[in-house]
Structure 1
Amino acid sequence: MIELIHIKKGFGDKVVLHDVSAVMEAGKTNLIIGSSGSGKTVLMKCMVGLFEVDEGQIKYGDQNFTAMSDVERKPIRQEIGMLFQGSALFDSMTVEQNLMFPLDMFSNMRLREKKKRVNECLDRVNLKEAHKKFPSEISGGMKKRVGIARALVLNPKYLFCDEPNSGLDPQTSMVIDKLIHELTVEYEITTIINTHDMNSVMEIGDHIVYMYQGNKQWEGSSKDIVFSKDEKLNDFIFASEFLKDAKEMRQLEMSRGKQEGS
């Protein structure tokens, strides 16, 4: 669990985050959504310590991350996995070597143990035949899966994903969403996803924080969104007439389901 308590952050005279509080829950996909300039990226960077907050606290479990020095933060950072927007694989390394890199840096495993762990992670993301391939030899969706495997290789408690579906076709995006959600539940990870993808919001949004002009405008689940009356949220999620009609249809289906179940 990661708890945000009255977070404020600005750059010079510009205030980017205004008193943001939220709880990112373990075993759930926690999505941060919002338009460009809403503060969601700054919020995520504050959570991993790339930016220091001006006011408030960020707590990993019962540990106050904001009050720690860089040395004190190291054990927590070693429990964090990162999936970058462009996957950020090393082009000159094979898939196997990319996964081996965090193990070389942060573990005392023997080579045999490292290879076993790499194989386990690649098998879990269905890439057991890609060990010796270079990033240039695999597709965008495969690169994302390698990125996920690398993020998991150190058994993290926390997983941060920056636009995991960026540049992917809709079908591949659904595969990546499903994989991230499965791994989150399977390993009881606290997963935080920064996304613009509305399919992700509706399909894997266990917990959603909607940012608007630096404020937490709305908070809830994908099911809650369907019945939300927050105008700013609805204008963002259901921007087109087609999506507005789809929302009304979903409301009817869910209402009928409740009536039949009662």
Structure 2
Amino acid sequence: MIELQDIKKGFGDKEILKGVSAVMESGKVNLIIGSSGSGKTVMMKCMVGLIEVDAGIIKYDGQNFSGMDNQQRKEIRQKIGMLFQGSALFDSMTVEQNVMFPLDMFGTGSYRDKKKRVAECLERVNLKDAAKKFPAEISGGMKKRVGIARAIVLNPKYLFCDEPNSGLDPQTSLLIDQLIKELTLEYNITTVINTHDMNTVMESGDHIVYMYQGQKQWEGTNKDIVFSNDQLLNDFIFASEFLREAKEMRQTELYSSGKWKEETKREAPGNGGEQKK
């Protein structure tokens, strides 16, 4: 797991993260959500060491990542997979070559072994027949799947995804969400996703951290959201009348099935929603 302990970060006179503590759990899809300027992107960049925290500690499976030197961090980073918002594929390389890139940079073994591993990953994301194509010859959804294959080719323990559904149609977005969730469970990965996509929140949110003005406002699961009394969270998630009606329908469904008791007790004291009802 990844643990954040009272992390703070500012740029000049502007304080971005104001003492955030949270745990990103292994084997789960952990979401960071919030409006623009809430601090979620800075928070993710701090977690992977692209930005240094001003105060606080970030731990990877109990190891103090914040206190490590570059060589020690390199060992952790080799266990990290990244899925970028724009896929970030090399246009001059084929799909197969793009996925092999991390193996050439950090992997060991023969070319034959590397090629076998690439084929396994492409088959896992349903792109076995696209290996020899170039990025310009495939769709946006396929590019995302190539990005996922590249992110998992080194068998990462941690997977970071920045807006994985950006620019995709709703149906393709659902397929990407499902694929990321399956891989998280299959390989027991600690997956962290920065997203604005409410389908991702409601379908894949095993663990959700809602950021508001640089602080953790609320923490829970996608089921907890349905019964949350946090007004800021509700205004963000259920912004439209359609979504508010969908929430009411879901509450009615859970009440009638008797599951509401199980769901409401999840929002334990200490969550932002419990403190700021």
Find the counterpart in structure 1 of residue 171 from structure 2: 171
**Deviation, structure 1 residue 122:** 0.2
1:129 counterpart SS class: helix
Residue identity in the other structure for 1:249? M
**Deviation, structure 1 residue 254:** 1.2
Find the counterpart in structure 1 of residue 48 from structure 2: 48
Counterpart check, 1:23 vs 2:38: no
Q: Quick one: structure 1 residues 12 and 120, their matched pair in 2 at CA, closer, same or farther if it must change by over 3 Å?
A: same
Over residues 81-117 of structure 1, what are the superposed CA-to-partner deviations in whole Å (9 max), with x where a residue is unaligned?
A: 0000000000000000001110000012100000000
Find the counterpart in structure 2 of residue 157 from structure 1: 157
Write the distance in 2 (CA, Å) between the matches of 1:256 and 1:86: 43
**Deviation, structure 1 residue 158:** 0.2
Runs of at least 4 residues off by over 3 Å: 259-262
Find the counterpart in structure 2 of residue 132 from structure 1: 132
2:29 counterpart SS class: strand
Write the distance in 2 (CA, Å) between the matches of 1:82 and 1:109: 22
**Deviation, structure 1 residue 227:** 0.2
Find the counterpart in structure 1 of residue 195 from structure 2: 195
Residue identity in the other structure for 2:211? M
Over residues 109-137 of structure 1, what are the superposed CA-to-partner deviations in whole Å (9 max), with x where a residue is unaligned?
A: 10000000000000000000011000000
Residue identity in the other structure for 2:57? Q
Residue identity in the other structure for 2:203? E
Write the distance in 2 (CA, Å) between the matches of 1:251 and 1:63: 41
Q: How does 1:86-97 map to 2 (within 5 A)?
A: 86-97=86-97
Q: How does 1:228-243 map to 2 (within 5 A)?
A: 228-243=228-243
Larger deviation: 101-110 or 31-40? 101-110
Write the distance in 2 (CA, Å) between the matches of 1:260 and 1:99: 45
Residue identity in the other structure for 2:163? E
Find the counterpart in structure 1 of residue 68 from structure 2: 68
Q: Quick one: structure 1 residues 214 and 100, their matched pair in 2 at CA, closer, same or farther if it must change by over 3 Å?
A: same
Write the distance in 2 (CA, Å) between the matches of 1:261 and 1:49: 41
**Deviation, structure 1 residue 256:** 1.5
What is the total number of aligned residue pairs between the two structures? 262
Residue identity in the other structure for 1:183? L
Larger deviation: 208-217 or 252-261? 252-261
Residue identity in the other structure for 1:70? N
Runs of 5+ consecutive residues of structure 1 not aligned to the other structure: none
Find the counterpart in structure 2 of residue 81 from structure 1: 81
Write the distance in 1 (CA, Å) between the matches of 2:196 and 2:113: 38
Write the distance in 2 (CA, Å) between the matches of 1:233 and 1:259: 22
Q: Quick one: structure 1 residues 136 and 63, their matched pair in 2 at CA, closer, same or farther if it must change by over 3 Å?
A: same
Write the distance in 1 (CA, Å) between the matches of 2:177 and 2:256: 28
2:35 counterpart SS class: coil
Find the counterpart in structure 1 of residue 270 from structure 2: none
Q: How does 1:206-245 map to 2 (within 5 A)?
A: 206-245=206-245
**Deviation, structure 1 residue 14:** 0.5
Superposition RMSD on alpha carbons, in Å?
1.2
Residue identity in the other structure for 2:137? E
Whether the 8 Å contact between 2:254 and 2:260 is mirrored in structure 1 is no
Over residues 4-55 of structure 1, what are the superposed CA-to-partner deviations in whole Å (9 max), with x where a residue is unaligned?
A: 0000000011000011000000000000000000000000000000000001
Q: How does 1:2-21 map to 2 (within 5 A)?
A: 2-21=2-21
Percent identity over the alignment is: 76
Question: TM (normalized to structure 2)?
Answer: 0.93
